[in-house]
């Protein structure tokens, strides 16, 4: 399942932005800060599902590496446009597909050193032209997710760890608050990264930065003022990379 910014159309973005502007003044006067964060995340998730629902795309081992789920979705959409006789839109989508494939291939081939290893470079070129082999996803015997988790849990334990002392307040100065413009600049320059527990992708936060900035800044400032960190902000997904 995926939702990717490469498949976003300008009309969808305009509709989403118009709707979010009508919700910009909405406030969450609930009992706890954690409840306010939960309500804010729920509102964002609802609009994300409404305008950019997840779709199931199957990518097989015979597909070249540059045929990602977003690319395959755009290819299917292009075929639908061609069958409907909307050739102008199909041609415009072809340009977007070409740009995405070129960007992905450039990243994939960037670390190939043709002077030191020409054989490896030609192998990469053949993979681009003919796709990957059938055994590229071969599993290693005896290596499971649980084995990996146990390994990294064992080597990540510090026997000398000491919990830090609790602070009476999280605010150091009376004017240590975050402005809406600061939050907007942070959201507007978010780099592509994996989603957290709230399942809100970075591209969606960038798209809605003009609207989300005010409510997020309010939550930050309330957390600083009360000296309380919502439990959602203290929980993260950690995936060990071998």
Q: What is the pLDDT along the chain (242 residues), one digit of tens a residue?
A: 455 555 555 555 566 655 555 555 455 444 578 888 888 888 888 878 877 777 778 888 777 777 888 888 888 889 989 999 999 988 999 999 988 888 877 777 777 776 777 777 777 767 666 655 555 455 556 677 777 777 777 777 777 777 777 665 555 555 678 899 999 999 999 988 878 888 888 888 998 888 889 889 988 988 888 888 888 888 877 777 66
- The answer on 78 and 51 residing in a single domain is no
- The answer on 36 and 90 residing in a single domain is no
- The distance in angstroms from the start CA to the end CA of the chain is 24
201 within 8 A of 161, measured Cβ to Cβ: no
- The answer on 26 and 75 residing in a single domain is no
| C-alpha torsion 228→229→231→233, nearest 10 | 170
Number of domains in the chain: 2
Contacts of 2 (CB under 8 A, 6+ apart): 54, 55, 57, 69, 70, 73
Residue-range definition of the domain harbouring residue 20 = 1-61+175-235
- The answer on 79 and 38 residing in a single domain is no
Residue 157, in any domain of the structure: no
Boundary (domain end) residue, out of 80, 105, 133? 133
- The answer on 126 and 78 residing in a single domain is yes
Residue 75, in any domain of the structure: yes
Q: What is the per-residue pLDDT for 6?
A: 52
Residue 155, in any domain of the structure: no
Residue 163, in any domain of the structure: no
Residue 231, in any domain of the structure: yes
- The answer on 74 and 56 residing in a single domain is no
- The answer on 128 and 76 residing in a single domain is yes
pTM for the structure as a whole: 0.53
H-helix segments, the chain: 10-22, 33-51, 69-83, 87-109, 118-130, 145-155, 180-188, 202-207, 209-226
Contacts of 134 (CB under 8 A, 6+ apart): 61, 62
C-alpha–C-alpha distance, residues 223 and 35, integer Å: 12
Residue 1, in any domain of the structure: yes
Q: What is the per-residue pLDDT for 11?
A: 57
Boundary (domain end) residue, out of 133, 161, 184? 133
User: Looking at residue 195, what DSSP letter applies?
Assistant: -
Residue 17, in any domain of the structure: yes
Residue 184, in any domain of the structure: yes
51 within 8 A of 12, measured Cβ to Cβ: yes
Backbone angles phi, psi at 168, to 5 degrees: -70, -30
- The answer on 219 and 185 residing in a single domain is yes
Boundary (domain end) residue, out of 82, 105, 133? 133
| C-alpha torsion 90→95→98→104, nearest 10 | -120
Count of CB atoms situated within 10 Å of the CB of 216: 21
């Amino acid at each position: 399942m995926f939702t990717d910014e490469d498949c976003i159309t300008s009309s969808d973005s305009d509709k989403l932005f118009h709707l979010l502007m009508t919700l910009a003044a909405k406030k969450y006067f609930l009992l706890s800060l954690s409840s306010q964060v939960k309500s804010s995340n729920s509102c964002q998730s609802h609009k994300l599902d409404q305008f950019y629902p997840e779709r199931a795309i199957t990518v097989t081992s015979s597909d070249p590496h540059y045929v990602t789920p977003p690319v395959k979705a755009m290819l299917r959409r292009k075929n639908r446009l061609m069958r409907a006789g909307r050739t102008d839109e199909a041609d415009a989508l072809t340009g977007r597909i070409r740009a995405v494939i070129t960007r992905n291939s450039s990243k994939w081939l960037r670390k190939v050193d043709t002077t030191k290893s020409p054989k490896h470079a030609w192998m990469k070129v053949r993979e681009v032209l003919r796709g990957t082999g059938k055994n590229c996803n071969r599993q290693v015997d005896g290596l499971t997710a649980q084995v990996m988790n146990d390994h990294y849990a064992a080597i990540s334990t510090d026997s000398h760890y000491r919990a830090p002392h609790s602070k009476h307040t999280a605010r150091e100065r009376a004017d240590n608050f975050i402005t809406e413009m600061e939050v907007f600049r942070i959201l507007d320059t978010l780099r592509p990264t994996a989603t957290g527990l709230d399942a809100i992708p970075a591209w969606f936060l960038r798209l809605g930065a003009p609207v989300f900035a005010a409510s997020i800044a309010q939550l930050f400032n309330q957390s600083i003022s009360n000296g309380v960190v919502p439990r959602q902000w203290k929980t993260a997904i950690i995936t060990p990379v071998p």
